[in-house]
Amino acid sequence: MKNNQQELKKGLLPRHVQFIALAGMIGTGIFKGSSDTLNIAGPSVVVAYLIGGLLLFIIMAALGEMALAFPNLNVQHLVNKAFGFQISFLVGWLYWINWIIVTVVELLAAGSFLQFWFPSIPLWILSFLCAVVIVGINLFQVKYYGEMEFWFAGIKIIALVAFIILGCFLLFGMIPSTVHDPFSNYTAHGGFFPHGIAGTFSAFLVVMFSYGGAELIGVAVTETKDAERVLPTIIKGAVWRVIIFYILPILIICGIMPWDKVTGADSPFVQVFSSTGLPGAAHIMNFVLLTAVLSAANSGIYATSRTLFSMAQSGVAPKELAKVSSKGIPLTGIIITSVCILAGLYLAYLTPSEVIGYLMTIPGFTVMFIWISICAAQLKLRPLYNHQPAFKVKWFPYTTIFAILSLSVIFIGFLLNSNNVIGSSVSIVTIGFLIIVSFFIKKTVVT
């Protein structure tokens, strides 16, 4: 029997897990990154989000199937079971690095939204204050973290629904505004595909960054009550909600304002309401966006600390990281994550104007690599199931192979794109470094 100091408490309810996954997926990628994707692809970016959503569903279905076939194993454990120590080492640490960067991006985005009201305060100071709040939340028992995340995520989901409804009213002229002939914006500025199919393809990097977080379900499963009963419902519900929360807002933004007028200085959501002349709406939306990215950062700290914990159990991280506090949280992992986040925020001090754009490209690469690993693990583990789970991927193995090939093509395409030289260089160097280190690390499994 395991020592209590090496067990996470099962304090997450089904509604917590569902909203944790949604929180990780609905953050900077849509609220801030949508300005980047619109500039890259114009209105056709919705095509990239639709294809990305299809791949997302396959990944989540594969993950849910494995989680039911092997109870109490999260993503890192499953990869370790499928491919052994070295691949597990690579995927585990890459996932941790991925979420460190994502969390830094979310906190920087939170700081940028605060600058809407406090433009004279430097970005790094506002982001640091946000980091203090989020780290504090993660120091409580997991059930309190889950409850906070539930309400955090709830606010931004309600806000997105309100944005969609209000946006539709504006598009159809049901609310007086300064917007004239909105539907012409879909085709009047270079067409629906202003930069061609190549532009749509180029937007996939930020799209993948945006959808990254779906696999948080596979991290939270070890702290979830009745996981076998609730996981299928959570997976099916989360995917279609996220697709709706991406596709409809983008279409509304493109209709209300020309896609080439999206500046990126403020969130496109704030820009839309500022351009309509509706009193106070931009301030309300900015507050909601602040809450949204803090929610995603909250999920990020959860993901990084739990990933370190599971890696320590599998022997790919120091065994001291498998210890938990009296509250049942991996305190050492949270402290290490916090130090790394502070280092990331220092970049905002050095390059405040470019830092978010640079950092957002890196998780797009790592998310694709991790998603490929999840699909590959399912291919490997399916014949090893002791029992057949109630929830399974349809048309296996063709759907899983399709996802692997599609993600691989996107991954290679971005490596060859000169516009992504910084993100691709950092990603390749990091993967190479982890591969080399894996040959020198001794496996020590926590029992």
Rg (CA), the chain: 21
Each residue of 256-280: pLDDT tens digit?
Answer: 777 777 766 667 777 777 666 666 7
Which residues lie across from 12 on neighbouring strands?
224
Nearest to 334 by CA among 296, 312, 306: 306
With beta carbons less than 8 A apart as the criterion, state whether 223 and 10 touch: yes
Q: What is the DSSP string of 27-49?
A: SHHHHTTHHHHHHHHGGGHHHHH
pLDDT score for 290: 85
- Range from 47-51, 275-279, 300-304, 414-418 that averages highest in pLDDT: 47-51
- 4-438 homologous superfamily: Amino acid/polyamine transporter I (1.20.1740.10)
pLDDT score for 376: 92
Q: How many whole angstroms from its chain centre is CA 94?
A: 14
Task: Give the model's confidence band at 283: pLDDT under 50 very low, under 70 low, under 90 confident, else very high.
Answer: confident
Q: How many whole angstroms from its chain centre is CA 194?
A: 27
Q: How many whole angstroms from its chain centre is CA 33?
A: 12
pLDDT score for 226: 62
Each residue of 320-370: pLDDT tens digit?
Answer: 777 777 777 778 888 888 888 888 888 767 765 666 666 666 777 777 888
Task: Give the model's confidence band at 4: pLDDT under 50 very low, under 70 low, under 90 confident, else very high.
Answer: very low
Q: Enumerate the domain spans of the chain.
A: 4-438
C-alpha span between 209 and 357 (Å, rounded): 12
Quote the mean pLDDT of the chain: 76
Rounded (10°) CA dihedral 93, 408, 363, 59: -80
**Spatial CB neighbours of 392, under 8 Å, sequence gap ≥ 6:** 65
Nearest to 252 by CA among 162, 166, 186, 167: 167
Show the tokens assigned to 145.
């973290």
Judged against a pLDDT cut of 90, whether residue 405 lies above it is answered with yes
Show the tokens assigned to 231.
């996981």
* Three-class secondary structure of residue 224 per DSSP: strand
Average pLDDT over residues 375-385: 88
pLDDT score for 5: 47
Average pLDDT over residues 29-43: 74
